[in-house]
């Protein structure tokens, strides 16, 4: 019994969905993301390093990782790496709660833990901004915190919609991320349940863009105004880990949306070839969608972004969670 528990911890932490899985998936996703983003702008994208430039993300990461680590006198030296490591660890732990893990971790009301784990990356980025005193980092961090005030409630409400719906069907464990991910596919056959699911999917996609500072919500990093915002003072290994965290967030949140809203490999099982291919296609569709939004929109001003989220996204997420609690299942 103890041996099995140790084995499950090792597999979850280091194999799948641990460091090895995250490293490979982040690398391939970043290549796909950069390739289609370039094509949308009539560029070629990664081309020279590896076949069709597939090794370019690795080369860029290693280039930053082995550069000189320059730290100003008033900035923190070790704390940024610690915070970034905790943020990446929280995302791996979140994946361990999804059915993609061979040893999934789940319990009743575990959605509270899942939401808590999604808070660590923004907390780490906020602290990074304050660890390197600079007018640009201060402005960028304040803008990022402003965006989080409006996008985090939307993110929370959207995640709760499929969880509430699956719990109301009587499936145990109640209010579980794992349970909702395994059973949400059956809800798409219920016309009444489809309405809140579509509304929540719309809300979470836009909250995804805002949470990750992807255009049109890249206000905190506006390079033409404030250099790199919260990351202005960072270079070398620290900047490499900041980039890594951003890329891992794209992977984890895309997988979260695929499992929690689209049922993962449904209508197949994850143990079949058809199921694995279905999961990959759904995942690439989500990555393509957020890339398309980034490529087809211009940066908003901070007040425009806040007004847009409050007027056109927050009400939709509120309506979705209300419908999820009152419609007959």
Q: Give the model confidence (pLDDT) of 78-102 as tens digits.
A: 788 888 889 999 999 999 999 998 8
Contacts of 120 (CB under 8 A, 6+ apart): 86, 87, 90, 91
Q: Categorize the per-residue pLDDT at 1 as very low, low, confident or very high, splitting at 50, 70 and 90.
A: low
More confident of the two residues 2 and 63: 63
Cis ω before 118 (30° cut-off from 0): no
Check residues 74 and 81 and name the one with the higher pLDDT.
81
Do the Cβ atoms of 140 and 132 come closer than 8 Å?
no
Cα–Cα distance, 312 to 176 (Å, whole number): 28
State what percent of residues in the chain have pLDDT above 90: 51
Residue 215, φ and ψ in degrees, nearest 5? -55, 135
- Asked if residue 59 has pLDDT above 70, the reply is yes
User: Encoding tokens for residue 8?
Assistant: 């499950």
Q: Are 112 and 176 in contact (CB under 8 A)?
A: no
CB 213, CB 293: distance < 8 Å: no
Residues 6+ apart with CB under 8 A from 148: 122, 126, 211
Can you tell me the mean pLDDT for 234-238?
A: 82
In this predicted structure, the answer to whether residue 219 has a pLDDT above a threshold of 80 is: yes
* Contact yes or no for 287/29 (Cβ under 8 A): yes
* Alpha carbon distance 12, 104 (integer Å): 8
Q: What is the pLDDT of residue 64?
A: 84
Q: What is the pLDDT of residue 75?
A: 65
What is the C-alpha to C-alpha distance for residues 30 and 284, in angstroms, rounded to an integer? 11
User: pLDDT, tens digit, for every residue of 135-187?
Assistant: 778 888 888 899 999 999 999 999 999 999 999 888 878 899 999 999 999 99
Tell me: cis bond preceding 267? Omega within 30 of 0 counts. Answer: yes
Does 236 score more than 90 pLDDT?
no
CA 275-279-282 angle, 5° bins:
135
> How far is residue 84 CA from its own chain's centroid?
15
- What phi-psi label fits residue 266: left (phi over 0), alpha (psi between -120 and 50 degrees) or beta? beta
Structure tokens at 4: 């099995």
Tell me the CA distances in angstroms from 181 to 12, 13, 185, 237, 261, one per residue in order. 18, 21, 8, 36, 7
Are the C-beta atoms of 313 and 207 separated by less than 8 Å? yes
Query: Residue 61 pLDDT more than 90?
Result: no
Query: Helices in the chain by DSSP H: which ranges?
Result: 2-10, 19-40, 56-65, 79-95, 111-131, 135-168, 177-183, 191-211, 223-226, 236-262, 273-296, 302-312, 314-326
Residue extents of the structural domains in the chain: 2-326
Which pLDDT does position 323 carry in this prediction?
95
pLDDT in tens, 189-209: 889 999 999 999 999 999 999
Cα 127 to Cα 224: distance, rounded to the nearest angstrom:
23
pTM of the model: 0.92
Q: What is the mean pLDDT of the chain?
A: 88
pLDDT of residue 4: 73
Using DSSP, state whether 120 is helix, strand or coil: helix
Q: pLDDT tens digits for 260-306?
A: 999 999 889 888 999 999 999 999 999 999 999 998 888 888 899 99
């Amino acid at each position: 019994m103890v041996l099995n528990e140790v084995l499950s911890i090792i597999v979850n932490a280091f194999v799948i969905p641990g460091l090895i899985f995250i490293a490979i998936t982040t690398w391939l996703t970043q290549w796909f993301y950069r390739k289609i983003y370039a094509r949308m702008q009539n560029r070629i994208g990664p081309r020279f390093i590896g076949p069709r430039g597939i090794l370019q993300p690795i080369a860029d990461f290693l280039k930053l990782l082995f550069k000189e680590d320059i730290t100003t006198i008033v900035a923190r030296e070790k704390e940024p790496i610690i915070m970034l490591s905790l943020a990446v660890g929280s995302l791996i732990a979140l994946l361990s709660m999804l059915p993609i893990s061979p040893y999934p971790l789940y319990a009743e009301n575990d959605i509270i833990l899942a939401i808590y784990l999604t808070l660590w990356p923004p907390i780490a980025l906020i602290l990074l901004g304050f660890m390197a005193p600079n007018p640009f980092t201060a402005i960028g961090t304040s803008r990022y915190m402003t965006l989080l005030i409006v996008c985090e409630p939307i993110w929370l409400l959207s995640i709760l919609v499929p969880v509430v719906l699956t719990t109301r069907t009587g499936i145990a464990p109640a209010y579980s991320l794992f349970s909702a991910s395994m059973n949400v596919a059956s809800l798409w056959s219920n016309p009444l349940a489809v309405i809140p699911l579509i509304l929540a999917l719309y809300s979470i996609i836009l909250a995804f863009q805002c949470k990750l500072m992807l255009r049109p919500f890249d206000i905190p990093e506006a390079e033409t105004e404030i250099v790199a915002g919260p990351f202005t003072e960072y270079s070398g290994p620290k900047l490499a880990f900041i980039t890594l965290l951003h890329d891992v967030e794209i992977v984890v949140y895309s997988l979260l949306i695929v499992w929690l809203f689209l049922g993962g490999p449904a209508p197949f099982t994850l143990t079949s070839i058809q199921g694995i291919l279905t999961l990959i296609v759904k995942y690439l569709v989500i990555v393509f969608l957020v890339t398309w939004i980034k490529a087809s929109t211009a940066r908003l001003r901070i007040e425009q972004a806040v007004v847009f989220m409050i007027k056109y996204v927050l009400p939709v997420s509120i309506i979705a969670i209300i419908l999820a609690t009152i419609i007959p299942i």
